[in-house]
Structure 1
Amino acid sequence: MAGYDDRDGKIWMDGKLVDWRDAKVHILTHALHYASSVFEGERCYNGKIFKSTEHSARLLKSGELLDMPIPYTVEQLNAAKDEVLAANGLTDAYVRALAFRGAGDEMGVASLGNPVRVAIACWTWGAYYGDAKFKGAKLDIAKWKRPSPETIPTAAKAAGLYMICTMSKHAAMAKGCSDALFFDYRGYVAEATGANIFFVKDGEVHTPNPDAILNGITRQTVIGMLRAKGITVHERYILPEELADFEQCWLTGTAAEVTPVGQIGDYTFEVGALTRDIATEYEALVRA
């Protein structure tokens, strides 16, 4: 396909549809200089966005956490997403909603006089990790740490939080890996660059406390699915040395969906029955 700046189609910007190639911003847009931007990644299956309302609500919450009130309601955002999908003739797609401080009267750190702009795009996108979704992803261990919530609003899905994700994923890819695992500022296991992580031991599931990472919507969905099946889920602090004791591992996220992990650094995991079952059941749920 053509680059993301050179495609046919429509993008919703500030209340109206514009031609894809005309969806542009000025070079002095505040977000480009100071990362005043929040976003959502969503998937549409069979014409319906999975958990659309939850994603729209989180976008508004992220804007609030960045002192950047977004000038639309959840209902308006939901309608805009449906509108852009229809305009592009897509029923199975990835949807990206973005809110950011635009260009305006101010060009310093303070930007209260600059408008908050909103854009929504969609495109077809297959498995985020390619064939790793079926045979198990290989993860590097990032040199960067997820920061303390006292230093940055970690509960926001904010663009600035992804800077170390880009660097860590580039480093992982250079080693032949699909992604990288972060530890947090305390040294506990945290998450991958764009996905939450789960482990299995003795039939029970363990996943990091989301107190310094994004509590993903897919993460919450999968925890609910597991508990509905009667499987014990421990949300807790996980030490790096515990990786040696886990039998299975998988990643969750809107883009990642449920992707098994076969290796993290020197630690290996089987793509076991529970991993396969939850991946299959999640696929059925989002298409129900």
Structure 2
Amino acid sequence: MAGSYDDRDGKIWMDGKLVEWRDANVHILTHGLHYASSVFEGERCYNGKIFRGHDHSVRLRRSAALLDFEIPFTAEEIDAAKEEMLKANGWRDAYVRCVAWRGTGEDMGVSAKRNPVRLAIAGWEWGNYYGDAKMKGAKLDIAKWKRPSPETIPTSAKAAGLYMICTMSKHAAEAKGYSDALFMDYRGLVAEATGANIFFVKDGEVHTPLPDCFLDGLTRQTVIGMLKDRQIKVHERHIEPAEMEGFQQCWLTGTAAEVTPVGQIGDYNFEVGALTREISEGYEKLVRS
């Protein structure tokens, strides 16, 4: 499948039923478009099975609750809808995107209590998020924007509005020849990339930022479990930017990114070492098992 995302053949699940791809539209006065009252999930289906699909459905509902709205479908109903969409399109390997938002109704201002909550589930076939960086190691810029304090925004929600600075930072990074950008948080500590969590290796032990102001990704949680199963010590902690000079390896984790090695962050360089490759290959086997 190729071409513009609004002009393709296929089916999208929308508000309880399958619709033709080109008919899956919303009105221009949709509240989510104007006021970011929208949450979403990105998932991958491998060999006909969505990896941690139910956990994604549960998190989607939790994100909505953090934004003060309720999705009118249970997690189990969302699971079934994802399967229905995949079957209708004949996909066994695909990326799945669920999105819920406050739609068009009687309110068109900051308040939107009378507007219906809508849910759509789409998918597409998608390769490596970072292209050949899966082998060579991604190059990251350091973003000028910072991840905000949890006192300013619901940072544990996977909410559309939180990605505004991600788009700007990724565009700026790509313009300079980088694959992505690394954020610091509001305290100046290492946080995450624009759509992925980050891990570092030093002397056989792994260090990853404490997710106290950004999303604790499901892939991040999976990889931490893999490391602990291998008896590798994992330090979830605050990391100062200057510490990156002493780290030997680095990788990113995310549903789209999967496990992607990092070769460079700004002026800091990392080897695509044995542990990075082991975890990347182990994750590939796990999601297809």
TM-score (norm 2): 0.99
| 1:145-178: CA deviation from partner (whole Å, max 9, x where unpaired) | 0000000000000000000000000000000000
Q: How does 1:116-135 map to 2 (within 5 A)?
A: 116-135=117-136
| 1:101-123: CA deviation from partner (whole Å, max 9, x where unpaired) | 00100000000000000000010
Correspondence for 1:65: 66
Looking at structure 2, the residues matched to 178 and 68 of structure 1 have their Cα atoms a distance apart, in angstroms, of: 35
| 1:264-288: CA deviation from partner (whole Å, max 9, x where unpaired) | 0000000000000000000000000
The letter for the 2-side match of 1:176 is G
Give 1:2 deviation, angstroms: 1.3
Looking at structure 2, the residues matched to 188 and 280 of structure 1 have their Cα atoms a distance apart, in angstroms, of: 29
**Secondary structure in 2 matching 1:167:** helix
Task: State percent identity of aligned pairs.
Answer: 75
Correspondence for 1:229: 230
Q: How does 1:109-258 map to 2 (within 5 A)?
A: 109-258=110-259
Correspondence for 2:90: 89
The letter for the 2-side match of 1:121 is A
Give 1:41 deviation, angstroms: 0.1
Give 1:135 deviation, angstroms: 0.6
Looking at structure 1, the residues matched to 169 and 53 of structure 2 have their Cα atoms a distance apart, in angstroms, of: 29
The letter for the 2-side match of 1:80 is A
Looking at structure 2, the residues matched to 225 and 243 of structure 1 have their Cα atoms a distance apart, in angstroms, of: 23
| 1:168-213: CA deviation from partner (whole Å, max 9, x where unpaired) | 0000000000000000000100000000000000000000000001
Correspondence for 1:274: 275
Q: How does 1:17-36 map to 2 (within 5 A)?
A: 17-36=18-37
Give 1:68 deviation, angstroms: 1.1
**Secondary structure in 2 matching 1:183:** strand
The letter for the 1-side match of 2:196 is A
Q: Runs in 1 of length 4+ with deviation above 4 angstroms?
A: none
The letter for the 1-side match of 2:25 is K
Ranges in structure 1 where 5+ consecutive residues have no aligned partner = none
Looking at structure 2, the residues matched to 21 and 219 of structure 1 have their Cα atoms a distance apart, in angstroms, of: 35
The letter for the 2-side match of 1:90 is W
**Secondary structure in 2 matching 1:177:** coil
Correspondence for 1:13: 14
Q: How does 1:41-60 map to 2 (within 5 A)?
A: 41-60=42-61
Correspondence for 2:264: 263
**Secondary structure in 1 matching 2:171:** helix
Looking at structure 2, the residues matched to 279 and 20 of structure 1 have their Cα atoms a distance apart, in angstroms, of: 34
**Secondary structure in 1 matching 2:143:** strand
Looking at structure 2, the residues matched to 63 and 221 of structure 1 have their Cα atoms a distance apart, in angstroms, of: 23
Looking at structure 2, the residues matched to 244 and 182 of structure 1 have their Cα atoms a distance apart, in angstroms, of: 16
TM-score (norm 1): 1.00
| 1:193-235: CA deviation from partner (whole Å, max 9, x where unpaired) | 0000000000000000000010000000000000000000000
Aligned-CA RMSD value: 0.3
The letter for the 2-side match of 1:198 is F
Give 1:133 deviation, angstroms: 1.1
The letter for the 2-side match of 1:175 is K
Correspondence for 1:79: 80
Ranges in structure 2 where 5+ consecutive residues have no aligned partner = none
